[in-house]
Amino acid sequence: MRNIALKLMYVGTAYHGWQIQKNAVSVEETLEKCLSYVVGHPVKCTGAGRTDAGVHALAYIANFRTTSTIPCDRLPLAVNTRLPDDIVVTEAVEVSEGFNAISSCVKKEYTYRIYNSRSRNAFLVDRVWFYPYKELDVSIMQRAADCFVGTHDFAAVRSVGTDVKSTVRTVHWFDITRQGKTIECKVCANGFLYNMVRAMVGTVVYAAEGKFPPESVSDILEGRCRTDAGPTAPPGGLYMSRLWYDEPGLNKGAVE
C-alpha cells in the first residue's frame, strides 16, 4: 500500500475540529469522504493533531494508505473538486511506509491572532480574538511568554479532557509581535496538551491586563494549577501554522 501525506489548509469555523465524532461534522470526515470517492476504496486519515472546533489550519498534514495508482501531482485537484471551499488540499507527497502524521511530527507551530482595536473588523469574524478593551502592551506579553519557553510541566495551561502520560513538553519559542491592530503569537513545541496554546495566550493577555506580573507566570507554571493561569482564549484566533518532519519530500522538514 502507498502511504500518502496530504498538505491541507482549512477554515475551521464550520467544523467541530479535525477528529471524527458523532453528530458533528469534522474536517477528517469531510476529507475522508472525498478521498474515498477519488481513490475508490474507504480511506482512514491520520491527522497531525486534534484541532478544536473553530480552530483553523494554514498548514496541516494528514496521511492515508491507498491501493490507488493516482499520481500525487493529480491528487490535490481531484480531491479539491469534491471538497467544500473551506478545505483545500495544497499538496500530496508519497512518504515512507512508517510515516505517521502525528507520531512522526518532530515539532509544530501554532499562530494565534488577536485583533486589538476599539472597532470590530467585519472581515475577521471568527478568524481572530477581537479584543477592544484596552491597547495590549506587547512587551509585557512577551515577558510573560518567555516564562513558557523551555522544558516544563504545562499542567497549569491545559484543559482536562484527554488522558496523557505526561504533561511535560518543550516549548521552542513563543514570539509575540504587533503589526498595526493585529497581535500575532507564534508558539512552537514538540507537542501540545489540550487547549494549551489558547490557555498560554489567555495567560499572557492576563499579564498585559495587569492581573499578575509577567514574570510570575513561571510560578504559575510551577504551581500546576489551571485556575491560577489566564482564561482559554477563543478558538477562532488559533491556526496550526507550521509542522516539521524528518521525511524527504515534506519541504525539507518544515511544512508551512
What DSSP assignment string belongs to 55-103? -EEEEEEEEEEE-----TTTHHHHHHTTS-TTEEEEEEEEE-TT--TTT
CA angle 80, 84, 89 (to 5 degrees): 35
Residue from 125, 134, 164, 256 that binds a copy of itself (CB under 8 A)? 125
Is the Cβ–Cβ distance between 154 and 193 less than 8 Å?
A: yes
86 binds a copy of itself (CB under 8 A): yes
87 binds a copy of itself (CB under 8 A): yes
Per residue in 52-80, is it b (16+ CB within 10 Å) or e — as a string? bbbbbbebbbbbbbbebebeeeebbebbe
Residue from 2, 3, 9, 149 that binds a copy of itself (CB under 8 A)? 9
Residue from 72, 88, 102, 149 that binds a copy of itself (CB under 8 A)? 88
Query: Which helix (H) or strand (E) segment is 223 a member of?
Result: helix 217-223
Residue from 41, 44, 106, 121 that binds a copy of itself (CB under 8 A)? 121
Q: How many CB atoms lie within 10 A of CB 210?
A: 11
Residue from 11, 55, 185, 204 that binds a copy of itself (CB under 8 A)? 11
Grid cell locating 24: 458533528
90 binds a copy of itself (CB under 8 A): yes
Closest CA relative to residue 193, chosen from 152, 222, 223, 164 = 164
Closest CA relative to residue 215, chosen from 131, 116, 145, 112 = 145
Grid cell locating 74: 493529480
74 binds a copy of itself (CB under 8 A): no
Closer residue to a copy of itself in complex, CB, 12/191: 12
Query: Which helix (H) or strand (E) segment is 8 a member of?
Result: strand 2-10
113 binds a copy of itself (CB under 8 A): no
78 binds a copy of itself (CB under 8 A): no
80 binds a copy of itself (CB under 8 A): yes
For cell 498548514, name the residue.
59
Minimal distance in Å, beta carbon 35 to a copy of itself?
17
Residues 157-216 that bind a copy of itself (CB under 8 A): none
52 carries an active-site annotation: yes
Could you tell me how many residues of this chain bind a copy of itself (CB under 8 A)?
A: 18
122 binds a copy of itself (CB under 8 A): yes
Residue from 107, 113, 127, 169 that binds a copy of itself (CB under 8 A)? 127
Closer residue to a copy of itself in complex, CB, 89/193: 89
Q: Which residues bind a copy of itself (CB under 8 A)?
A: 9-11, 56, 76, 80, 85-88, 90, 119-123, 125, 127
| Catalytic (active-site) positions | 52
